[in-house]
A and B are shown apart, each in its own frame.
Chain A
């Protein structure tokens, strides 16, 4: 009886804390929206997009245990679909200078939300087709197949001149991705994934990651589950691609080379393969560091020598960081652990029994 009471107390405490944190979070978003200058705002929005990308890659790589490297391809599908659907006919005519756009696509113009969703659905559909074909493969073979696929997408985008404007890319996209769009999508997708992972489907995904043969013997339709996870992951990557397109306002096929996938993989590995919390924290930290360390690319005065600017030097920092993590802390920041109010209580940041409200917690 006594333990039941404490459990209820803890539940009430957690609910208050979550509510408090949500209010504070919303307040912070409002504050940032009015406080930040345009440049800081851009970084802040990019954080949200990278959160979505990291989470979607983590679903397939971390929770389902499939080493997929096709993310850039799905982003490209989402980005192009969303861009083409939402641009006005005039903008399209201005863009397609070498060859005119297909007449069917010329006059299509939709608001941002449906374009974004259709981009996600199309990416999801392509993910489904690819999944049905390649998810019979395992480990490295799957990685190679998905990597190859991602490059195929890029080559198709480069050559489908009348649909994508080829290597000229699309310019002057409407700047739809506001802070609210970016973070709104990130929050909705995070909630969706948390609910999915904690449901029986999430358990099925994790069982495949932990032991495929046992999962199959316990009645899990492994191939179907893998395809499901892969499809969801691709669809979310497509949505992130759409947000990215209208954040950058310019897209071309070269942005979606396979190196883009490795940027996201870096975030996932640093945050912890199989942790939603880890991916979110890591996405924000890495995105901010990418900008904060920009001074490394410029001229550096090291006291004993002066360099005159080595472009790409900041990436060396991330390479080194990745190596250190892989050697000393393979599980990344969080491993497979997740944030919970209880874990805060355990390390003594919160009273163990629930008297305190959500105030004072960030």
Chain B
């Protein structure tokens, strides 16, 4: 199995607090991997370490054979890592369409002169990103809202917009931070299908944090369980469900 993402002994300390200890993840191309654990277990911190928001205190992050430890988030995105956020971070004052357009800025490769002077080369690129943006909005069923303000969307739609925006950066690896948060059971089932669909359609590898067990167990091939920053278990959903340590972390023991 060729691995797309590897974290080797990644640690993160905030002062005296070890937020993440010895994170060793191995994500193969095309996998859907789950990252679960109780609140404060270091799941989002792990995402932030991999996507460059935080620099690991020690350890290495290897993406696609390249050491990306300590690289800036935008440079990591450029290599093909995209993400959504647990607390939705849309561009509030911009339209739904613009939110998706911005995410393509990096791949447009337009310099400021051709952009400002509206040279034919730029207009061609602009047309292309518009078409792609509409195609992506179609994918998440938001075309009719294209010109609405991003914050005017309902919560579930905002989550979908975040995914569309992340897809617009043309990722190989997509991190979803609690994509089903705030969704009703029906929406969660739809989301499950949607995640499988985009995986196949865009050739993605997906890592997701989720508390919604039905969803995680349903889509993930393997999963990692974190507790107090320590990986207490990893394996297939069946293995995880039986693991006594996981049960202890989630339910506690007598």
Chain A residues near B (Cβ < 8 Å)? 192, 195-196, 199-201, 203-204, 206-207, 209-211, 213-222, 228, 274, 336
Contact = CB atoms under 8 A, between A and B. Distances in A.
B74 A204 contact: no
Given A196-B116, A201-B115, A203-B101, A218 B165 contact: yes
Interface in B159-207: 165-166, 168-169
Given A206-B94, A219-B74, A200 B116 contact: no
A207 B91 contact: yes
Interface residues of B, number: 38
Contacts, number: 105
A207 B168 CA distance: 15
Interface of B: 51, 53, 72-74, 77-78, 82-83, 85, 89-94, 98, 101-108, 110, 112, 115-118, 122, 126, 129, 165-166, 168-169
A208 to B, nearest CB: 9
Contacts of B165: 218
Contacts of B72: 216, 221
Contacts of B82: 217-218
Contacts of B106: 218-221
A210 B95 CA distance: 12
B207 to A, nearest CB: 14
Contact of B91 (A199, A211, A221, A274): A211
B102 A203 contact: yes
Given A207-B94, A209-B93, A228 B102 contact: no
Contacts of B83: 217
A210 B116 contact: no
Contact of A211 (B74, B92, B104, B122): B92
B147 to A, nearest CB: 11
Contacts of A214: 85, 89-91
B108 A222 contact: no
A195 B89 contact: no
A296 B211 CA distance: 66
Nearest to A205: B102
B94 A210 contact: yes
A200 B94 contact: no
A113 B115 CA distance: 25
Contacts of A209: 93
A200 B115 contact: yes
Nearest to B149: A336
Given A216-B72, A216-B74, A218-B103, 13 more contacts: A200-B102, A200-B129, A201-B112, A203-B94, A206-B93, A206-B94, A206-B98, A206-B102, A211-B91, A213-B89, A218-B102, A219-B169, A221-B106
